[in-house]
Chains A and B, each alone.
Chain A
Amino acid sequence: MEIKYRNYNNVLYVKLVGELDENTAKYTSKTLDDVFLSTISKQIIIDLSEMGFMDSTGIGVLIGRYKKMKNKGVSIFISNPSYHAEKIFKMTGLYEIMPKIS
């Protein structure tokens, strides 16, 4: 898993490149926490266009990040999920806490 990010117009853009499963979950969570906590942006957009695979472990990672950031008044959004990632997001109601944006 490779995590790319940049700040632009007060928004933090984060791109997950690779596969998100049990093997990459810890690294992904830790890296996202470091990146999220170092930003002053109040909006974060997670771009999933280059995430090749995700299973339900990814839901745990995303919800965990949401819980850490919500008290800081930061909103997180999801963009470009794959068809399968979206199926899992809808199953879990993830979009209710991390809305999808285009």
Chain B
Amino acid sequence: MKEKEKNKMEIRFKALSINESFARASVAGFCLQINPTLDELTDIKTAVSEAVTNSVVHAYSGSVPGDIVISVTLYESSVRIEVKDFGIGIENFSLAKQPFYTSKPDQERSGIGFTVMESFMDSLELENNSEGGLKVTLYKKIKDNEQKAKKLG
């Protein structure tokens, strides 16, 4: 059954690292409407930060930074976040997702961005946009208030 859409928003900003804290704080602030726990909120902030970092570091590598677009859709008890850039995309998804793989081994990079996204969210999907660039779709269930109340009780 498809969940009913409650609300949505979109932000667009330049792929600069200084925008990372803005991006994760904006998404987290919007998600407050569906009452996540602090842990769930930090999971979301971390996953968004990973996706944005990838676009900042890899998408426009060696060229002028283009844009990143984040779209967030809130459902009754879940959130879907799309992080899109218009850069070089990813050639080999399974290689990119391998823990500790990095395409920039000369830099101090851990290569676990996708691993963190997968473990902090309920699902992760990667696709290259038809217009060029990468689209990362993150999905997370937010336990509803009723369940939370029961848990506390």
A binds B: yes
Chain A interface residues (CB < 8 Å from chain B): 19, 21-23, 25, 29, 53, 55-57, 59-61, 63-64, 82-84, 87-88, 91-92
A contacts with B: majority SS: helix
Least CB distance, A17 to chain B, in whole angstroms: 15
- Kindly list chain B residues whose C-beta atoms are within 8 Å of the C-beta of A64: 108
- Kindly list chain A residues whose C-beta atoms are within 8 Å of the C-beta of B67: none
- Kindly list chain A residues whose C-beta atoms are within 8 Å of the C-beta of B45: 53
How many residue pairs link A and B with beta carbons under 8 A? The number is 67
Binds A, one of B79-87, B111-119, B137-145: B111-119
B contacts with A: majority SS: helix
Determine whether the beta carbon of A91 is less than 8 Å from that of B56: no
Query: A55 touches which one: B46, B107, B108, B119 (CB < 8 A)?
Result: B46
Determine whether the beta carbon of A60 is less than 8 Å from that of B110: yes
Give the distance in Å from the alpha carbon of A56 to the alpha carbon of B49 in the complex. Answer: 9
